[in-house]
Amino acid sequence: MKKIFLLFTLLGIFICTNIVVKAEDYQNYQEIVFDDSDAKLLKDFSSKDYKTLYKKVAKRKFSGWNIYVVNKNEPVEFVSETKIKIYNNGYTPIKQDIKLKTKEETNLQLSASGSIKVDLSGNIKKFKGGIDANIKASVSYSKLTTNEETYEFEIIVDPMTYVKILTRGTGEINNGVGKSYFFWITTKSGGWEIFTIKTEYYEIFKERI
C-alpha cells in the first residue's frame, strides 16, 4: 500500500483542526470514476443487467458456486469526501496551523446483493456462504493496511477566497454475480463486489469567493 501523501495544487490555508482519513463506505463517496466508461458499480446494476448476467452462471452443478466476473481489477479514481471548507470574507489574511492525522486502516471494502452476504465480524472482511474462495480464485484481492501518519503545516486563506480540502485516491473494483447450487438446485444468487483503496491523499484548493 502506497503511503498516504499530501498534494497541494494551490497553496492556501485554514483552521487548526484534526482530520482523520479513514475508509468510508465507498458507495457513499462523492465521486468514483472508472478508466473504462462501460464499467459500473454493483449498486448501479439494473434488473436487466442481473437477468443477462445470471445466464453466465446458469450451468447447474451438484454442489457449490458458479461465479461470473464482470469487472476485474478495474482501476478507479475517487473523491471520498470534502474534509473542510474555510471562507475568508474579510479584508485580512487568515493564518492557521493544520494537523491532519491518519490512522491504521484496512482499505478493503465489500458489498453484496441478493442472497449473497458479507461477514462483518472480525478484522478480515469476507463473503459468507463459501463464495469467498471462488472469488479469490478468479480475481486478485487481499487485505491492505495503512499505518498511522500525522501531517502538520501552516496555510493562509487570503481575503475574499476560500480553501477546501478533499480526500482523493485511486483504487480497484472487482465485481460480478454468482449462483450457489445443491443437488443441481439454485439455493442462493446475487452480486458481489470488492473495492480496494490503492492510494489516498489530501488535495487542497484555493479559489476566489
Query: At 102, is the pLDDT very low, low, confident or very high (cuts 50, 70, 90)?
Result: low
Q: For residue 103, how many other CB atoms are within 10 A of its CB?
A: 12
> What pLDDT does residue 100 have?
73
Predicted confidence (pLDDT) at residue 183 exceeds the cutoff of 90: yes
Does residue 139 sit in helix, strand or coil? coil
Query: At 15, is the pLDDT very low, low, confident or very high (cuts 50, 70, 90)?
Result: very low
> What pLDDT does residue 104 have?
57
Contacts of 146 by beta carbon, 8 Å cutoff, 6+ apart? 1, 3, 4, 102, 104, 105, 107, 200
Average pLDDT of the residues in 117-142: 85
Strands (DSSP E) along 47-149, which ranges?
63-88, 94-102, 105-106, 108-112, 118-119, 126-127, 145-146
Q: Which residue has the higher pLDDT, 204 or 51?
A: 51
Query: At 1, is the pLDDT very low, low, confident or very high (cuts 50, 70, 90)?
Result: very low
> What pLDDT does residue 148 have?
73
Domain carrying residue 44: 5-208
Single pTM value for the model: 0.79
Q: Which residue has the higher pLDDT, 166 or 142?
A: 166
Dihedral sign of CA atoms 53, 57, 58, 64 in order = negative
> What pLDDT does residue 13 have?
31
Indicate the DSSP class of residue 30: S
- Chain centre distance of CA 93: 36
Predicted confidence (pLDDT) at residue 111 exceeds the cutoff of 80: yes
Predicted confidence (pLDDT) at residue 37 exceeds the cutoff of 70: yes
Provide the domain count of the chain.
1
Does residue 56 sit in helix, strand or coil? helix
Predicted confidence (pLDDT) at residue 23 exceeds the cutoff of 50: no
Among 29-43, 75-89, 134-148, the range of highest mean pLDDT = 29-43
Say which amino acid occupies 114. Answer: G
Predicted confidence (pLDDT) at residue 122 exceeds the cutoff of 60: yes
Q: Tens digit of pLDDT for each residue in 38-83?
A: 999 999 999 999 999 999 999 999 999 999 999 999 999 999 888 8
Contact 22, 145 (CB under 8 A): no
Separation in Å, CA 137 to CA 64, 69, 113, 142: 14, 11, 20, 12
10 Å CB burial of residue 207 (0-12, 13-18, 19+) is exposed
